[in-house]
Structure 1
């Protein structure tokens, strides 16, 4: 028997065994069966998005149903790390509201809601090398996820795209450099 072919066979079997264990962990470990609990917190997410994009002359995020977009994204598209950061952030937010104001976020006044969201924004604002490493290891923070999904969901919703941004159903020719008039709405997602 050739010793080289025996070693190759042993390594191939060991490699297949290791790859199958990793594959099972990847596909079964990432299942969505535990991800259906965000629908119960839809009212909280709707209020949070409404504080980030409040209604003015244009509809707010709550009217544009951005919370449904966020729930759908978090349950179906996000990584487990981001999903866990998001759900843990919602839980911590409610606990802070109860300990500070003796009521849930949905029942707080508009001033209290703005203070809470402002605190969340100030906590997640660092952009240094340490925070980039932390984001890579631990995933994005709760507020970063919420804010980016709120903006994305609002700009891609029908209300946000047609009433807040400039919407042209049939665009004209492409102009690379365009002058904006005073107080003109723009079309941008970032």
Structure 2
């Protein structure tokens, strides 16, 4: 083998080995779509689980089917001030530990009734001046904000506005002699 080629390969290998400690091969990277939030993929999945408990799928699509977690994160990133964003992120990060303490296991592995009970108990937490109180306040803020934005995103979605409750402009169609039994879907006049 040529010495120059062997030295070149040796230099490339040793240079590559020098960079390995600085590389992070974890699969839980921070999502870059949200400038002001440091949200990982697992936290986004947890947010999806929570929104799916709030509005589950049934005869019509649920919150997770309409991608409400993306709406929630965009609204928090764009519309809340930095203090509220910090409180939301702190609550999101503290929620898995709260769920383990309250439900006895990982939130994703619990049944729907247990998930609902944890969310309801988390919404009613009150904070005080202690570190645990600040964490409880953050969890409560996170869950209440998530519930509010889940409902808002779900009701404003294209699916709801076009297929479930069709939107019509004011004044809408007028027909003075219609039997109540003949009425089809309710219409929302905007």
User: Which TM-score applies when normalising by structure 1?
Assistant: 0.59
Match in the other structure for 1:63: 65
2:175 matches 1:173? no
Q: 1:33 to 1:50 in 2, by over 3 A?
A: closer
Task: Indicate conservation of the 8 Å contact 1:38/1:71, yes or no.
Answer: no
Equivalent residues of 1:36, 1:75 under 8 A apart = no
1:135-172 deviation per Cα after TM superposition (whole angstroms, max 9, x unaligned): xxx9x9222211111111111112232344x214x546
Alignment map for 1:101-120 (pairs within 5 Å)? 101-120=103-122
Please show how residues 66-105 of structure 1 align to structure 2 within 5 Å.
66-105=68-107
Question: Is the alpha carbon distance of 1:185 and 1:151 closer, same or farther for their aligned partners in structure 2, counting shifts above 3 Å?
Answer: farther
Distance 1:141 1:68 in 2: 18
Deviation at 1:45, TM superposition (A): 0.5
Distance 1:163 1:33, change over 3 A: closer
TM-score by length of 2: 0.59
Give distance in 1, aligned partners of 2:187 and 2:69: 23
Where do 5+ consecutive residues of structure 2 fail to align? 1-33, 127-137, 174-179
TM-superposed CA distance for 1:76, in Å, is 2.7
The 3 A distance-change label for structure 1 pair 123 and 161 is farther
Indicate the residue corresponding to 2:20 in structure 1: none
Query: Alpha carbon RMSD of aligned pairs, Å?
Result: 3.2
> 2:158 matched to which residue of 1?
158
2:44 counterpart residue number: 42
Larger Rg: 2
Q: CA deviation at 1:117?
A: 1.4
Q: CA deviation at 1:99?
A: 2.6
- State the Cα distance separating 1:79 from its structure 2 match: 0.9
Which fold has the larger relative contact order, with Cα–Cα distance below 8 Å and residues 6 or more apart in sequence? 1
SS in 1 for 2:56: coil
